[in-house]
Amino acid sequence: MSSNVYQLDENTASKLIRFLSESDSNLPAGAKYRKKIEGHTVTIYNSNKFMVQGSASETLAMKLLGNAGIKVAGSSETKKNVAGKTISYDAFNCIGSDEAGSGDFFGPMTVVASYVSKKNADILKVLGVMDSKNLKDDKIIALAEQIIPIIPHSLLVLDNPKYNDRKAIGWSQVKMKAVLHNQAITNVLKKIDGAPLDYIVIDQFAVQGVYENYALTAIPESEKTRFETKGESKSIAIAASSIIARYAFVKYYDQIIRETGIHITKGAGPKVDLEAAKIIERKGIAYLDSITKKDFKNREKALGIVNKKK
C-alpha cells in the first residue's frame, strides 16, 4: 500500500474538508478528518497534513484536491520533474495554459492557452506580465486588453449550466480542466500553423497520468509537453494565459453583479453564503443555480440561511 502526504495551510485544509463527505466519528489521535473514499483511507491531521493511503494514493489525492479547486506541489512525480531539470521557458517559443474560476462558487470556469514566442516574451515582460495572483482586477483588465491583440490564444468558457450538467454525469473538476486545457492547446496549435514551438507548458492541476486519462483526446505534441506547479512564475506563456483567463472570469463576475444588484465575493467563504442567500430571496434558487457551481457547499448553506428566516 502506498501513501501520499501533502502539507496544507489551515484555510486550504478547511476548504478540503468542506468539499469531502462527512468524516468518520472514530478519529485517530491527532486527526480532524478520516474517511474511506474509493477504497483508500483519507486523513487530515490537526497539523493540516493531508494523507491518502491505498493502491492509487497519488491519483486519488490529486483528484480530491482538483475537485476542491486546490493546487499543491509535492507529489512524487512533481518532485522527480523538478529535481530532474529546470527549464528557463521564457528563452523558448512556448504555449502555456492556465484556468480561472475553479475555486469560486459564483461564475464560470475559464481556460486559456497562449502562444508566446521568444520575441513576444520580452514584450510581455516590458508590459508587466507576471503572476496574476499578485495583480488586482483593474491591473488584470488593463494588461489583458494590451496582450490579447499580440499573442495567439484560445479562450474557452465553461459556463455554470454546462459545468453543472457535467457534474451531474459524474465529471470531476480535474476532468473538466483536462478536457478544456487539451482543447485550448489544440486550438492554439491550429492558429500558429507551424510557427516555431519548443515547449507546451501546463500549469499543473493533476499529474500527467491523471491528465492523460481524463483529457478524452491525446495530448498534442506530447513530447514537448511539460507540467509545472506554480507555472505562472516559471513561464510567461502561462502567466499570459492566467491573465486572460482571469480577465474573462472578472467580466462574467461583473455581469452577475449588474444582474443581481448584489456585490458578490470571489471564492467560497462565509460571505459568499450570505450573498447567495440574498440572491435566492430576490431571484429564486433556479436563478442562483444558473450563475453558480451547484456542487459547492455554499448552495446548501445559503438555503439554510434562507430557511431560518421563514
pLDDT tens digits for range 48-76: 888 888 788 888 888 888 878 887 654 43
Q: What pLDDT sits at residue 131? A: 66
Domains of the chain and any CATH numbers = 2-70 (3.30.310.10), 89-251 (3.30.420.10), 261-309 (no CATH)
Beta strands, E only, 142-298: 153-158, 199-203, 225-228
φ, ψ at 172 (rounded to 5°)? -85, 165
In 3D, which of 194, 118, 180, 177 has the Cα closest to residue 151? Answer: 118
Residue positions forming the annotated binding site for a divalent metal cation? 98-99, 203
Mean pLDDT, consecutive 10-residue segments, the chain of 310 residues?
Answer: 75 88 81 89 87 82 83 45 64 96 97 96 88 82 94 98 97 95 98 94 89 89 90 94 97 95 94 97 97 97 91
pTM, to two decimals:
0.73
Residue 44 three-state SS: strand
Which triple of cell numbers denotes residue 105?
A: 462558487
Residues 20-29 have pLDDT tens digits of 878 888 887 7
Cα–Cα distance measured from residue 246 to residue 132, given in angstroms and rounded to the nearest whole number? 8
> Which residue type sits at 197?
L
B/e letters for 262-291, b = 16+ CB within 10 Å, e = fewer, are: eebbbebeeebbebbbbbbeebeeeebeeb
Instruction: Report the distance separating Cα 139 and Cα 86, nearest Å.
Output: 30
pLDDT digits (tens, 9 = 90+) for 151-191: 999 999 999 999 999 999 999 999 999 999 999 999 999 99
pLDDT of residue 142: 92
**Residue (of 27, 126, 133) closest to 42 by Cα position:** 27
Query: Annotated binding site, which residues?
Result: 98-99, 203
What does each C-alpha distance from 183 to 93, 154, 158, 177, 186 come to in angstroms? Answer: 19, 9, 12, 10, 5
Question: Which residues have C-beta within 8 Å of that of residue 223, sequence separation ≥ 6?
Answer: none
